Amino acid sequence: MTMIQALNSAMDVMLERDPDVLIFGEDVGYFGGVFRATEGLQKKHGLERCFDTPISESGLIGVAVGMGAYGLRPVVEIQFADYIYPAYDQIVSEVARLRYRSAGQFIAPLTIRSPYGGGIYGGQTHSQSPEALFTHVAGLKVVIPSTPYDAKGLLISAIEDDDPVIFLEPKRIYNGPFDGRHDRPLTPWAKHPASETPEGHYKVPLSEAAIVRPGASVTILAYGTMVHVALAAVEDTGVDAEVIDLRTLWPVDIDAITASVKKTGRCVIVHEATRTSGFGAELSALVQEHCFYSLEAPIERVAGWDTPYPHAFEWEYFPGPDRVATALRRVMEA
């Protein structure tokens, strides 16, 4: 499967298994979504289980909160992560707080899906990476897959979870892995082992990172598209790096991070979001706190620039394998 097909399969499976699951958002029903992630679900499961809504992100999430409190499990699509900001008050003030505020009498088992990230010439309003905003909010879980297999298993886990989950999908790798080299032909998911995705129900646990490449010299922490960029940089440099795909940003798998950095003594953190106050800053602080006496070099961060996502200079902004390779060499020489 492609990642789009895997996500579609996850929602299809959950619609069949659980009558309390329903899917809604802008254009997700008849049209099947801008990226076709919900294609065919309305036709198969009916208008009451998969339906279109007005263009009102705040309204979408506000309705979903009530549904969750009532006992339903809504899966809401925000068409692009750039459009999630009108819903931010509902997510922070209502969704994230409901279980705490009601002393456990109510829960908000929402899954909020949204494509995020650049690399598609979307410019400043279709390329943002807002994940750090949600890792800062107590009560939310934040998940980002990097392969079709993980995407399906993580989405099923998110839908079945009793806590609200922000499920961000790196749209640059919807149809194939991307190593950051935009001037080369796209490799389809069919040629990647992680595209082998079971048809039925299975789960990938939340809050468990994956070691996608074992290594002994340096730890690379990445998620989403940047996992593939990191692997390309390792291949270019020949550095024996251990690449960790976080998968769940929060609650993060600190045990996996600590074990790896204590083994390698070095750490490079890669994400596409802007550098200042990006999630890499939190990761850097965690590594410093937990692995200080094991570090043999300063922690390196490779990230987007502190600017709006530029259309004309997309590939200067995008943290490609050359920038990651530079950081790897620097940390190995320190």
Task: Give the residue numbers marked as catalytic.
Answer: 126
Quote the CA–CA distance of 182 and 102 in Å, as a whole number. Answer: 49
Quote the CA–CA distance of 133 and 149 in Å, as a whole number. Answer: 26
Residue type, 229: V
Quote the CA–CA distance of 315 and 292 in Å, as a whole number. Answer: 34
Contacts of 188 (CB under 8 A, 6+ apart): 2, 175, 176
Contacts of 221 (CB under 8 A, 6+ apart): 244, 246, 257, 267, 268, 269, 270, 280, 283, 287
Residue linked to tokens 């593939």: 228
Quote the CA–CA distance of 11 and 45 in Å, as a whole number. Answer: 11
Residue 247 sits at the vertex; the CA angle it makes with 241 and 250, to the nearest 5 degrees, is 115
Region of 280 please: left (phi>0), alpha (psi -120 to 50) or beta: alpha
**5 SS3 class:** helix
Nearest to 161 by CA among 91, 221, 86, 248: 248
Task: Show the tokens assigned to 103.
Answer: 């002393």
How is residue 81 annotated by DSSP?
Answer: G
Farthest-apart Cα atoms in the chain, separation = 60
DSSP-assigned beta bridge partners for residue 304 = 274
Task: Show the tokens assigned to 200.
Answer: 């039925």
**182 SS3 class:** coil
